[in-house]
Amino acid sequence: MILSDKTIKEMIGSGKLTVEPIEESSIQPASIDCRLGDHFLLIDENRMDCLSMTSEIQYRSLQCEEITLPPHSFLLATTMEYVELPAGLTAFVEGRSSIGRMGLFIQNAGWVDPGFKGRITLELYNANSLPIKLEVGRRICQLVFCKMDCEASRPYSGKYQGQKTTEGSRIFEDRESSEG
Q: What is the pLDDT of residues 123-159, one digit of tens each?
A: 999 999 999 999 999 999 999 999 999 999 999 999 9
Residue 42 placed within a domain: yes
pTM over 0.85: yes
Residue 134 inside a domain? The answer is yes
According to DSSP, residue 25 is labeled: G
Q: Catalytic residue among 23, 84, 123, 135, which? A: 123
Helices (H), the chain: 5-14, 97-100
Is 140 part of a structural domain of the chain? yes
Which residues lie below 8 Å from residue 45, measured CB to CB, with a gap of 6+? Answer: none
Catalytic: 135?
Answer: no
Give the chain's domain count: 1
For 100, the domain range is 5-48+57-168
In a domain? residue 26:
yes
Residue 93's domain is classified under what CATH number? 2.70.40.10
